[in-house]
Chains A and B, each alone.
Chain A
């Protein structure tokens, strides 16, 4: 676990250089199978390791992630390092600034960025199959997808390459790979973590969050990355709680909401069984479950995709090849021909599709029918949650309706793929925090994710519930076959 490594380093039982060296050894052993990374920064990571080792020798104060290697999803800006969103259109782009989370975790807390992780292009996807670098594979079964869009981060943590990685979650992009790869993934309340330096997919839904081996590590990272940032007007000025301290609070007498609709259609039997087992564990710990209805769940998928695609069509308009990126292949025609050619050639198919659909939904004559209607449905979904939280402290459900599917299995059935987000994306529409923790395996030995949704800024509560469940289940340390587990 990350916190253990940090403690060992601080107790001088191991040097950061050793930690970084062994991280790269692990990556060397598994990367050709997993393909979690799109860029690795071995030399710089080792240099920084040496520098950090000196801090302790010189009795200088050290940060809370002191020496911890981190993977960073390829859409979070790191100063002077390439960031591409797994898209050809951003080839060669190096931002001149750090995302706020990078400043907080790497600069202030002494974490070490060891590389950027693979993802679906511009975070559009649930499988990490839509990447200009090719797919990432699931450490539990290399013929399966790791989930997406933060699939590289999920696979790298699950496959033992790093103990923690950053992802972003727009409709489930942290929780889906966490579920499929059997790790912990937390999507914070919208506004809890600064989005400055996060390349937008759908800016009213996006949040950065951690993927880790255990809940404690997620709490530790959240403590360090959350908080108000004057550079992000949507970040909220609320003090950050001490998440690691509150993990072990008793959940006795607290109420778990069980939204019946979340357990209905399209759920794998094993998923249902294991999640229900998880609920029983929480009940045995003294929590009380309350069944409730979530009437507008059926509107979630169209609402989510309309909003996300509309926003994406605008957010991605800046990629015209004029100021950064690969640039146009050919300058013939007028400027609009050049823009169209660049965008047509350098965006992947899924991205082009979503831009076109989003453009359509915002067009004159369709705006009221699509975008405005989606905003109204979003309000209804928010209200469902609002009502639910009047009766409970957390809401629980499966994270994904199924376990990881085969690479290529759904590539020609986009609708089925979109439906995979049905249990995660309502959380983004409402802007709530949610965590996914592994709660068991199906008969193919693929991990199942347990989702705990909290009220606004109740990261503390979902971490607390997650920790209790994780400790009782005690499966979080299990390793996938790719690193010799079984």
Chain B
């Protein structure tokens, strides 16, 4: 019996298709690529539905976008760029071929090689890329109900011709967690390039090749979000391990990720043993990518996450851990920098405080609401004000936490405090009576305190509750201690 335990026996390669959602128009026609939510088959023209006689015209902006990513990933950009046809029949493919790039049969990918650095517990690892290339997206099949029970299939060509970038890794990923980490880093780089918003539904599709060393590999198709990748890989590894355990022979096959049932399903081999008959697309002429053009794009490229992380550590004295969290999401990092730089007197203490608020309560709120910071009305100045108010002792951390929700909706903190009457209670007389009351009502805790000094925290909590969190914790602590000692 073979028992597979080490992750290093797992070999994963990914093919990631990313829609360049920041492009205004499709890859080969002037139809808008912002098709989401539109009536089916309204964002179409003779070119993207492949009417006879129509011809593709390359969107130059798409080349620029691909170039940005290729530079950011460290790919070697091929000087001459040309397209190939990938021939196959499918209802969502109106021309009967997809215009794509190819690195065989005399073709060249847009960019070869490149890498993404990921963090592991044991240190850093380079995920090597094989290539990236540009291609057009097919249309979309819409089923009534489930794919199995639907009496018919509808085709929506709004998506047809939208520009995709395919990123192919080498088979160097050794665990689902590594895959996840790689995709997070990739997503961040793409966001920094300003070429796509991968949070948009359907903007990402992943195919994964996965095998256990010494056994046949399977290709999992149709994983429709980065989050699902880890899940699909985990499931498939379990399936393959079980096969091996039971001494069954794994066969090389294509499987489909069913994200509702969360399993991979084998496909009839007939459907996928395809010969795509790649050959040059001669309706498009080769384009020479001049060095000066590549240099120009390079100069316009913003600072990439890795460099920014290092700068955050140097410039703001943040830890590697903190700076990475801030930097991963470009919007958060931009927000942070605007905040720290809006106040001249801020120093490392405030830098750290601002970071804590962003990566803590604010991020938590965004996650819960499934929103991006740019979707909210929160401004950097407001967070700066929040930190200042805490530092000046005018509000407590607890109050601050309680007003985050309202601040996210755009209400200035000072206004919230005024409306809610929330202010720190620092008046010793007022606090004395509250402390006394709490001590009287909680004789059990007082008893406890004799043997367990940490019971004091419970008392402070009670005082906070009495004052709706407005009691100054330092003064309350001091007063409580005084009274208990008495």
Contacts and interface: CB of A to CB of B under 8 A. Distances in A.
14 contacts: A76-B53, A77-B52, A90-B52, A96-B51, A97-B51, A196-B54, A200-B53, A230-B57, A231-B55, A233-B285, A317-B89, A317-B95, A335-B90, A362-B277
Q: Which 8 A-B pairs have the closest CB atoms?
A: A317-B96, A362-B277, A204-B282, A199-B52, A77-B53, A197-B53, A364-B275, A318-B96
Interface in A297-315: 310-311, 313-314
A335 B96 contact: no
Given A320-B89, A339-B89, A363 B275 contact: yes
A336 B285 contact: no
B40 interface: no
Interface in B91-135: 91, 94-97, 105-106
Contacts of B284: 233-234
A481 B326 CA distance: 87
B282 to A, nearest CB: 4
Contacts of A97: 46, 51, 53-54
Interface of B: 46, 49-58, 85, 87, 89-91, 94-97, 105-106, 153, 155, 275, 277, 279, 282-285
A323 B94 contact: yes
B87 A317 contact: yes
B46 A96 contact: yes
A34 interface: no
A425 to B, nearest CB: 17
A219 interface: no
Interface residues of A, number: 46
Interface in A185-224: 195-200, 203-204
Interface string A76-109: 1100000101000010010111010000000000
Given A359-B277, A363-B277, A198 B95 contact: no
Of B53, B57, B91, the most chain A CB neighbours within 10 A belong to B53
Given A83-B52, A196-B55, A367-B277, 18 more contacts: A77-B52, A77-B53, A96-B46, A97-B51, A97-B54, A197-B53, A200-B53, A204-B282, A232-B55, A233-B56, A234-B55, A314-B277, A318-B50, A320-B89, A320-B91, A323-B49, A323-B51, A372-B105
Contact of B55 (A195, A364, A367): A195
A196 B277 contact: no
Interface string A226-237: 000011111000
Contacts of B49: 323
Contacts of A322: 91, 155
Contacts, number: 103
Given A90-B52, A310-B279, A372-B106, A320 B96 contact: yes
A203 B58 CA distance: 17
Interface string A358-372: 010011100100011
Contacts of A363: 275, 277
Contacts of A311: 282
A324 interface: yes
Given A320-B89, A367-B105, A95 B46 contact: yes
A324 to B, nearest CB: 7
Nearest to A322: B91
A162 B58 CA distance: 39
Contacts of B87: 313-314, 317, 362
B279 A233 contact: no
Contacts of A231: 55, 57
A318 B277 contact: no
Contacts of B50: 318, 323
Contacts of B285: 233-234
Contacts of B52: 77, 83, 85, 90, 93, 95, 199-200, 318-319, 324
Contacts of B94: 318, 323
A203 B283 contact: yes
A363 B57 CA distance: 27
A364 B53 CA distance: 28
Interface string A334-360: 011001000000000000000000010
